[in-house]
């Protein structure tokens, strides 16, 4: 796996939507590539932040819908 492949699959990796083989390949790439690992940490942190900020009782529906549109 190269950095371009990693970037293309990172969202699906975070959502655990890849095959077991792809998950392992991406994980191995992240372990050996500091720039991709840094991007992973950023994306994972952003995903956690959005999840916390957009809980049903905390964020208005319009705000959550706008984030969904931006992130897809």
The confidence score (pLDDT) of residue 61 equals 80
Query: pTM of the predicted model, to two decimals?
Result: 0.70
Distance from C-alpha of 3 to C-alpha of 65, rounded to nearest angstrom: 31
User: How do residues 6-49 score in pLDDT, each as one tens digit?
Assistant: 999 999 999 999 999 999 999 999 999 999 999 999 999 988 88
Confidence of residue 54 (pLDDT cuts 50, 70, 90): low
């Amino acid at each position: 796996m190269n950095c371009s492949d990693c970037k293309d699959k990172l969202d699906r990796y975070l959502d655990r939507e890849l095959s077991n083989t792809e998950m392992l390949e991406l994980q191995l790439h992240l372990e050996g590539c500091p720039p991709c690992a840094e991007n992973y940490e950023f994306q994972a942190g952003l995903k956690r932040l959005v999840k916390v900020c957009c809980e049903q009782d905390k964020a208005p529906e319009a705000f959550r819908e706008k984030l969904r549109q931006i992130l897809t």
